[in-house]
A and B are shown apart, each in its own frame.
Chain A
Amino acid sequence: MSVDERDPHSGYKTTGHDWNGIKELNTPVPRPVYFFLIAAFLFSVVYWVLMPAWPTGLSYTKGLLGIDQQTTVEREVARAAAERAPWMDAIARTPVDEALADPELMGHVRATGATLFGDNCAVCHGQQGTGAPGYPNLRDDVWLWGGAPDVIAETLRVGVNSGHADARISQMPAFGRDQMLPQEDVRAVVAYVRSLSEARSSAGATTLTRGAEVFATTCASCHGARGEGMASVGAPDLTDDDWLYSDDADAIFRGVWDGHQGVMPAWEGRLSVEQRRLLTLYLLDRQRRAP
């Protein structure tokens, strides 16, 4: 094979090698390759001079611009906080009723509250705040622990069964599983509880009588003599048609049998006092505007 072989198409000579039929042209490297290689290198050199770049043993070259990502982010976070400070401070200072009547302040609450709620609360309470089995609806006027602004803010701060030192404690014992009540008593009390909110109960009179007895001795201490609930221990009202878990008889039976220890995280330490107050206002506002 000739070393001087010339490719007829391109006019360039080959390198003279042949690998199973593959040859190579001796084409010079196109100029733009060198140009861009040098341009990219020069760009890098300039960037290295201006920015933190090369290690020097125990330290590194700091760069002429004196930029460092840590100080940059600290400065930007501080600047953003300062921009928000006027209305954030107002939220912390203004009494709730006054705040709810202040359209400008509530504009900030609605814009910020939706994202804050979406990122922190919606995973349990739903994006619309309408709840799910075991997670209360926050759009209606039923509040397990009370619906006063300070109470809501406190629930946000300490959570429920959360492990926080001041946590609200909600304990529905497992009456069946822990053998506090025999199965027929559990069935009777479930029938009785359902009868409290139903116009007509399908259960027999003897069952309801037995259920009422069990309720008086076992349930009334938390849920109240008439089943009206008790906000101090977060015990739900059993006479309304609002159910934290389900109005299904089997679900109520499981609740009495196995108990309930619902959890809401404590938000102190995760959300600032202003953010928790903002969420309180957001909830009250949505509740007022709810159709």
Chain B
Amino acid sequence: MVSELTTGQRQMALTFLAMLALLGLFVAAFGRADPIGGHGWLVLVFSLLSLFAVLTNYYDPEPAADRSAAYYDAPVKAGIIIAMIWAVIGMFVGAWVAWLLVNPDLTFVEEAWASFGRLRPVHTTAVIFGFGGNALIATSFYVVQRTSRTRLAGHLSPLFVLWGYNLFCLLAVTGYLWGINQSKEYAEPEWYADLWLVIVWVAYFVLYLRTLARRKEPHIYVANWYYLAFILVVAVLHIVNGLALPLSWAQAKSYSLFAGVQDAMTQWWYGHNAVAFFLTAGFLGMMYYYLPKRAERPIFSYRLSIISFWGITFFYMWAGSHHLHYTALPHWVQTLGMTFSVMLLIPSWASAGNALLTLNGAWHKVRDDATLRFMFIAAVFYGLSTFEGSFMAIRSVNALSHYTDWTVGHVHAGALGWVAMITFGAIYASVPWLWKRKTMWSPALVEVHFWLALAGTLIYVFAMWNSGIIQGLMWRTYNESGTLAYSFLESVEAMHPYYIARAVGGSFFLLGALVACYNIWMTIRAPQPAGALQDDHPQERTDPVLEAGR
């Protein structure tokens, strides 16, 4: 990575890292009486290690004078590897907490950090932000360059975005284990980690906009609309929901600026739009590039892309209040959340349909190519889970499903079936392109991974549908005397077989990710084949439309 930087840029990197190390030292010193001190040390160690990495390569030969003749893929490669590391961490912790629910004694150590309440956000953050986020950053860097036929607009800033984002992820998960958590689901990190992410994210936004501005294509491709929506809206959500007042500069604890039902509404406006713009829009961007590319088919309908994009971005913004049905939230806000969630189904299915219809003419490839099949299954699960989401947002359905495992099953239908599947598809497509191989080291192992992932997802989702609906029914069943028929504990006991099934399904999924890591590792390590792919370049191409526009 350092070899892509000029000496001047290497010096800038060193200066920045030295300042970051100093900041870490200050926090470690002034916050030594508080958990934030530990994070000071973490920042210090992180920046010193990065400093060391730059220094050891400081005297590498400088890059060619005109770097714009080549795409900047070093951060893409690093991002994909980091994403897979986070996948294994996050899915391992996920399988662990799933087994913990089967047998609460599986903490192994009698320490606070090993309790369910601390491990669970480590799982969600590691898979959503660690695995999903890094995959989005890496693929967005890849896609924006190819579809704009230009190099990333910067050399330090892509590295800053990637490594800065991972520092945020590290601050987040280590914080949970130490008990640092602002108790907002999917927004658990405390104020200082939130501030750091704002800096990183604004740099990401600026980088993305500048790269698009340099494009050599007349139009911006659909994938980039989605990536840009993802970056912009996540920034807005993160900043508003994270508004908080810390106890002091040297303490980790802060208090949200919102209170009561306003706090709940802000949190779920954030929470649902994190699903919308992080877990949906970002990955739709991924799908819009890798699926047609791999299928070698044109997108089914440009017009449908437009309708879906604006439908999704417009309707999603209103849907968050369906997380607060039958609560202190005023009834009228619930009505709006429900109706917009119902309308949201149409553009969601239009997107899924656009993806599936794109495969027309390439179904034989879906049959033969596990990588494309990952993307196909992802589109199917996208359709299924958006239908389920709109359905569960209806108040009377929500009365049964809310607070039950059905919600957990729904989330995982989306997270495993859609987000992880499209990501694995994109990664299996990208790795040979990036490392100039003809195929993955073992297409058979891709096939193994596909079936492990699909089996794991189906077992998981069916287990949670069953347990969730049984739970919901047990909680609302009355006996002939007009009182509750079951105690809560009885409903917990009834979940036990489904929790075993869920843990088995989750473990399958983890096993698949390990197979993927091995396959990717072997692909990268395998010697360059004779007919290796050539580098692709943002070469000049005479484009009649572009020429006409000039």
Contacts and interface: CB of A to CB of B under 8 A. Distances in A.
Contacts of B218: 17
B326 interface: yes
Interface stretch (A40-48, A175-183, A240-248, A265-273): A40-48
Interface string B347-383: 1011001000000110000000000000000000000
B336 interface: yes
Contact of B292 (A17, A22, A111): A22
A67 B486 CA distance: 30
Contacts of B353: 30, 33
A89 interface: no
A48 B335 contact: yes
B301 A29 contact: yes
User: In this complex, which of A10, A116, A117 has the most chain B Cβ atoms within 10 angstroms of its Cβ?
Assistant: A10
Interface stretch (B60-68, B272-280, B476-484): B476-484
A17 B299 CA distance: 11
B342 A43 contact: yes
A20 interface: yes
B307 A29 contact: yes
Contacts of A36: 345-346, 349
A115 B293 contact: no
Contact of A55 (B149, B300, B326, B332): B332
B326 A69 contact: yes
A27 B481 contact: no
A199 to B, nearest CB: 37
Nearest to A275: B483
A67 B331 CA distance: 9
B335 A53 contact: yes
A118 interface: yes
B346 A40 contact: yes
A10 B297 CA distance: 10
A7 B307 contact: no
B219 interface: yes
Interface in A98-150: 107-108, 111-112, 114-119, 122-123, 127
Nearest to B215: A19
Contacts of B490: 118
Interface in A21-40: 21-30, 33, 36-37, 40
Nearest to A117: B487
A22 B302 CA distance: 12
A83 interface: yes
Contacts of A67: 331
B100 interface: no
B184 to A, nearest CB: 25
A14 B298 contact: yes
Interface in A44-62: 44, 47-48, 51-55, 60-61
Contacts of A83: 482
B343 interface: yes
Interface string A141-164: 000000000000000000000000
A52 to B, nearest CB: 4
B304 A27 contact: yes
Contact of B298 (A24, A84, A108): A24
Nearest to A27: B301
A265 B518 CA distance: 56
Interface residues of chain A: helix, strand, loop or mixed (majority) = mixed
A52 B335 contact: yes
Nearest to B485: A115
Contact of A33 (B304, B486, B544): B304
Contact of A27 (B303, B326, B335): B303
A118 to B, nearest CB: 3
B345 A40 contact: yes
B4 to A, nearest CB: 21
Given A27-B304, A119-B487, A20 B149 contact: yes
Given A111-B480, A115-B485, A41 B343 contact: yes
B304 A29 contact: yes
B545 interface: yes
A47 B339 contact: yes
Contacts of B350: 29, 33
A68 interface: yes
B339 A48 contact: yes
Contacts of B486: 115, 118
A105 to B, nearest CB: 10
B289 A22 contact: yes
Nearest to A59: B332
B298 A3 contact: no
Interface in B324-345: 326, 330-332, 334-336, 338-340, 342-343, 345
A112 B479 contact: yes
B85 to A, nearest CB: 28
Contacts of A290: none
User: In this complex, which of B339, B343, B479 has the most chain A Cβ atoms within 10 angstroms of its Cβ?
Assistant: B339
Contacts of A118: 486-490
A21 B293 contact: yes
Nearest to B326: A69
B487 A52 contact: no
Contact of B361 (A10, A20, A26, A27): A10
B26 interface: no
Contacts of B484: 115, 119
B305 interface: yes
A4 to B, nearest CB: 11
Given A19-B217, A51-B335, A114-B487, A87 B305 contact: no
Contact of B332 (A43, A52, A114): A52
B298 A23 contact: yes
A289 interface: no
A111 B482 CA distance: 9
A22 B293 contact: yes
B146 interface: yes
Nearest to B221: A19
B146 A20 contact: yes
Interface string B204-229: 00000000000001110110000000
B23 to A, nearest CB: 40
A79 B141 CA distance: 61
B543 interface: yes
Nearest to A73: B326
Interface in B495-550: 536, 543-545
B489 A10 contact: no
Contacts of A69: 326, 331, 334
A221 B276 CA distance: 70
Given A17-B219, A19-B147, A48-B335, A10 B481 contact: no
20 contacts: A9-B361, A10-B360, A17-B219, A17-B221, A20-B293, A24-B298, A27-B304, A28-B301, A33-B346, A36-B345, A37-B311, A41-B343, A51-B332, A52-B331, A52-B335, A60-B332, A80-B482, A87-B481, A116-B483, A127-B489
Interface of A: 1, 3, 7, 9-10, 14-30, 33, 36-37, 40-41, 43-44, 47-48, 51-55, 60-61, 63, 67-70, 80, 83-84, 87, 107-108, 111-112, 114-119, 122-123, 127
